[in-house]
Amino acid sequence: MTESNVNEHYLIEIKEEEASVIAENNVKNQTSSGNQNEESVNIASSIRRKLPSKAPSPPSTCIYRVPDALKKLHENDFVPSLVSIGPFHHGTKNLQAMEEFKLWYLHQLLDRKPNLETKLEHIVEKIRSMEDYCRECYNEKLDHLSSEAFVEMMVVDGCFILEYYRKRKGEVPADADDPLFNISLAMSPTLTSDLVMLENQLPWRVLDCLFQLTKVPNGMYKSLSELTRSCLPIRGSMSDDHLEQTLESRHLLDNVRILSAELDKKEEIMPFWDSMPSASQLQQIGVIFQPNRNNININITFLEGVMEIAPITIQGDNPVFRNLIALEQCESGPHKYQISTYARALGDLIKSSKDVEFLMEKEIIHTSLNKEDIADFFNNICNGFATSSCCKSCWQVSLTVRQYYKQHWLQRLIVYIKHNYLYNPSSIWSVSNAIVLIIVLTVLQTIYSVLSYYKS
């Protein structure tokens, strides 16, 4: 065989080998493509099986863990120190002492036999029928609690709350040696605080069911709303509209919110909050502050230089205000930011102990704490907020106040001169100059007011 024939034969073998490799790769690609198509079909089928046949129902979640950003700043206001209610702190070691009291209160309730439906088996049956709903009320999976343990917790905790409130209001007698009502042990204020903490709630539906099953014949309170209203930290009297709104309560803390805030379902939400001047600054330009005693709601209004604020009581052992804010920060819905916005407004008005003293004189703030502590409370009230959003009604008040403050620039200048020159003179010359300047500015202010009147 010649050299050319050898080379030609070699080239033919290479081409045949390349063709074989290409064919093999094509087969592999086709197989791979087929496998991928099959996997896609399987995934699509899996997704299709999970698709719901109808629209999901509205979420029933209403009891939340407090966000870390809020809790780490004021943990004592969000973590119970005496009694655990519900699953979040169930089994906590330092709260175990109260478990004996819960069972004793349940024993007393059953032993009293307030009505024919007050039978433990009947109570358990009713609560067990709503177990799924109750679990969905919490924003965490509660798989660590068996059905038996969960239902028992709902029954024991719920009956304890009702029995405690009934004893507290005198509807049923309390034992003379009951430490929860023994003033020397001072446990009652702590217990009251624990029962309004966001992480320490039971669904309202559970409490209402237990109330009906254990209702005292011819008792003082015909409904759960009436009983809780008498025990919760709420100012003023309950209107018919508020009484009707409480039927929509989701838990005790939500009941406080409904009775404390003007829950307008059509309230618009603004994406930001603009600060107002402090109460002292506004008082210096002639703004009149008045307590709004006719309105149970947390509310602020401003009209023609008069600011009306719903009175508020702040106590060191009452964390309800911060828990109401935490509830609003956790949830979504038409009532979002009502109390948070009110807190922002008070945080603007109260910048120092001087502002606190002024608002206390006007009977807007009621407290047993010192003025410095109250000022510090409001200066830090907005720390940890997840957003600067606010409700439009209070934002509108803030806008009107800022505009009013800017329009009264002459009064602000007079106040500045009095404070820096007249009241703290460094020389006779500064005093005489200040007096002359104040007279000139006062005349200008009078002229400006007259012109504004005729222009309007």
**pLDDT tens-digit readout, 11-61:** 555 556 666 656 566 655 555 555 667 778 888 888 888 887 765 555 689
d(CA 253, CA 255): 5
In this predicted structure, the answer to whether residue 418 has a pLDDT above a threshold of 80 is no
Amino acid (1-letter code) at residue 236 = G
Supply φ then ψ for residue 390, to 5 degrees. -155, 165
Q: Are 346 and 381 in contact (CB under 8 A)?
A: yes
Q: Are 167 and 216 in contact, with CB atoms under 8 Å apart?
A: no
Q: What share of the chain is helix, strand, coil (3-state, %, to 5)?
A: 60, 5, 35
**Average pLDDT of the residues in 69-77:** 88
* Residue 5, number of CB atoms within 10 A of its CB: 9
Determine the angle formed by the axes of helices 392-407 and 338-349, rounding to 10 degrees.
Answer: 20
- Tens-digit pLDDT profile for residues 157-208: 999 999 999 999 989 988 888 888 875 555 677 888 899 999 999 999 999 9
CA distance 185 to 177: 11
**Predicted confidence band of residue 5 (pLDDT cuts 50, 70, 90):** low
Residue 112, both tokens: 């009293």
3-class DSSP assignment, residue 367: strand
- The rounded mean pLDDT for the chain is 80
Contacts of 150 (CB under 8 A, 6+ apart): 87, 131, 134, 135, 142
113 CB-near residues (< 8 Å, 6+ apart):
none
Structure confidence at residue 343 as a pLDDT band (50, 70, 90): confident
Q: What would the pLDDT profile of 392-401 be if each residue is shown by its tens digit? A: 788 889 999 9
What is d(CA 148, CA 171) in angstroms, rounded to the nearest whole number? 31
